[in-house]
Chains A and B, each alone.
Chain A
Amino acid sequence: MTDLLYVAALVILANVAVSAWRVLHGPARADRIMGAQLIGTSGVALLVLLYLIHGSSGVLDLALLLALLAAFAAVGYVKSRSADGAGDPEVAGGEDP
């Protein structure tokens, strides 16, 4: 069982490596942030597998923490696109509705 879990973790880690290539090369900024987002989801899956392997509930707490903060970098990115760092792509032209 543990060996199979390690193989599964290895497969997800390989996914992380491939996604990291996208973060490195882009081309668009959105691509890089998407890559970080995908690696975040993969990281959560990895920690769930590591929880099964290590059997320590702290590992699952870390997965919970990363899941809670999963959208954080992407929201920070869409905010940082406007000149004053306060715009939002949902508001047309970044102005007040």
Chain B
Amino acid sequence: MIASAAFDILLCLLIVTVAVGSVAARDLFGAVALYIVYGLLLAIGWVRLGAVDVGLAEGAIGAGLTGVLLLGAAARLKAAPDPPRLRIVPLLLCLAVSLGLGAAVLSLSVPQPGLVPLVQENLAASGVGNPVTAVLLNFRGWDTLVESVVLVVALVGVWALAPDDLWDGRPGAAQRVKRDAVLNTFGRLLPPVGLMVGIYIVWIGAYAPGGAFQAGTVLAAVWLLAIMAGVAEPPPVRRPLWRALLVLGPAVFLLAGLHGTLWGAFMSFAPAKAKTMIMAIEFTLTLSIAVTLAMLVLGRPRRPA
């Protein structure tokens, strides 16, 4: 009993200390290294709160993709001028906004007993056994559909930064890797295992923590590792097949939603068909999220196709 309380208290202290350290770090590299640690600790924190679904997402994004993205960004900012000095007025404004937000959140009345009983009551009709997946893909499918579109729009925004002559080129620089050396071998070893883990996570999402977003992030990370290890090449952004993969998930989601219009209302699934439809959406969405996230990390086209 005491040990479990001590564990939670130490975990909270560590999370807050590492967060403050990351924000206050003088050099950019130290801030990024601490941020990677922060993501990892946060994932453990979500587990302690019983939100393993969120822990999986935080682990994949925080300990995986963001680390590589920020390390690359920090390296590019090397030539940047001195870090900005502390400015009092913006600091006060930020504090005021934070306090205002905090007060607003704390003053919200918490409906008792919340939405949990409602979700539990309708879980049988949702087609899946994991309440988180039921909310994300069925009860609140609208939100998730729009979120999946936002990712693609963000990628189009990144691609738009390409200069004219590289408009349909290949993202990322050509990797210099020694063949059959350590990194190259590791890059060949990991993808089969990563693929298996990715498929497992989306499949198990139907009745336990997991799902398209977590699985897509894992696949994106493993693909990026294979690229960094010189095992795979990022495709030129003009390739129709890859562009089709980017929109496949949102398109299937939208079609499933329109199909619901025939049955009753937009984005409603007949209980008998719900499981099939949700799994079709989850698997195609996983592919689209994987390709989109990896392409977002790779950035704009940098060399001819």
> A residues near B, CB below 8 A?
2-3, 6-7, 9-10, 13-14, 16-17, 20, 23-24, 26, 29, 32-33, 35-36, 39-40, 43, 46-47, 50, 54, 56-59, 61-62, 64-66, 68-69, 71-73, 75-82, 84-88, 90-91, 94-97
Contacts and interface: CB of A to CB of B under 8 A. Distances in A.
B14 A90 contact: no
A91 to B, nearest CB: 5
Nearest to A46: B44
B7 interface: yes
B174 interface: yes
Nearest to A17: B14
A58 B229 contact: no
A91 B4 CA distance: 48
Nearest to B74: A80
Nearest to A60: B52
A32 B32 CA distance: 10
B175 A61 contact: no
Contact of A50 (B33, B44, B60, B76): B44
Contacts of A91: 176-178
Interface string B197-215: 1001100100011100010
Contacts of A3: 1, 3-4
A35 B204 CA distance: 32
Given A32-B30, A76-B67, 7 more contacts: A3-B1, A61-B210, A72-B64, A75-B225, A79-B72, A80-B75, A88-B230
Contacts of B200: 61
